[in-house]
Structure formats: C-alpha cells, structure tokens
C-alpha cells in the first residue's frame, strides 16, 4: 500500500462500484422519465446531467429512501443498542442518544448520520 499513490485494489473496487451505480441509476432514470404523472417534470429536473452519472437523481433517491435503508440496517440491532454519539435532535445543543436499536424517536434516522464516514459508524 502506497500512501502517496493510494491502494490500487481499493481504487479498482471504487471504480467498479461507481460503474455499477451508474448502471443502476441509468435504469432508474429510464423508468421514472418514460412513464408516470411526473415524467416531464423529472426529465426537466435531470436534463443537465450530461455525463450520465445521475448525481441529482442519486441525491433524490437517497432523500426518499434513507429512512427505509436505516431501518433495514438496524433491524437486527439489539433493543439496548445505542450509537456512541448524541445524534438525535435538530442540532448539537439538543442532541440525545438513540433510544433503542440505534434509532431515534419514531424511527427517525439520526441527524447527519448518513454523512458520517463508514469507518466511524460501526
């Protein structure tokens, strides 16, 4: 592993993941812009994505699905499981620990938690 040039294997894995994500979001893009009540609006929303990486679509997908993904990730967490930082609340002054199953009240996703790097999460 070269600290200056990076890890070649890790770089290749990231490139493969990016390629697969691009394929997945191309299919999602095709599905949502070819039919449905909002197809014209969605075509206009994503028309500036000339490199076909669909970053705006990815953000929209994540915003729509983050709660479901979080529930799936934590479904097997023990009842007394808590995240080590106070993450429930609107800001750092009102933040509290997760109440159970690493979830906030009413199964809300902990604030800013999906922006925490993976190595700090678990």
Residue matched to tokens 């993904």: 69
Q: How many domains does the chain have?
A: 2
**Domain co-membership, 86 together with 116:** yes
Burial of 101 from C-beta contacts in 10 A (0-12 / 13-18 / 19+): middle
Asked if residue 79 lies in contact with residue 95, where contact means CB atoms within 8 angstroms, the answer is no
Domain range for 28 is: 7-75
**Domain co-membership, 14 together with 71:** yes
**Domain co-membership, 88 together with 60:** no
Q: Give per-residue pLDDT as tens, 45-74.
A: 998 888 888 999 998 998 888 888 877 777
Spatial distance between the Cα atoms of 102 and 79, rounded to a whole number of angstroms: 8
Identify the residue with better confidence: 103 or 39.
39
Q: Which residues contact 73 (CB under 8 A, 6 or more apart)?
A: none
Q: Give per-residue pLDDT as tens, 64-122.
A: 888 888 777 777 777 776 666 666 766 666 677 666 666 666 666 665 555 555 544 44
Spatial distance between the Cα atoms of 63 and 57, rounded to a whole number of angstroms: 10
> Token pair of 95, please?
């933040």
Report pLDDT for 67: 82
Report pLDDT for 120: 47
> Whole-structure pTM over 0.85, yes or no?
no
């Amino acid at each position: 592993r070269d600290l200056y040039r990076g890890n070649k294997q890790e770089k290749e894995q990231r490139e493969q993941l990016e390629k697969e994500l691009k394929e997945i979001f191309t299919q999602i893009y095709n599905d949502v812009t070819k039919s449905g009540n909002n197809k014209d609006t969605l075509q206009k929303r994503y028309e500036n994505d000339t490199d076909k990486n669909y970053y705006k679509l990815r953000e929209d997908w994540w915003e729509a699905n983050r709660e479901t993904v979080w529930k799936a990730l934590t479904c097997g967490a023990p009842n007394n499981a808590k995240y080590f930082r106070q993450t429930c609340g609107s800001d750092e002054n009102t933040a509290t620990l997760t109440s159970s199953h690493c979830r906030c009240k009413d199964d809300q996703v902990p604030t800013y938690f999906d922006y925490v790097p993976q190595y700090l999460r678990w």
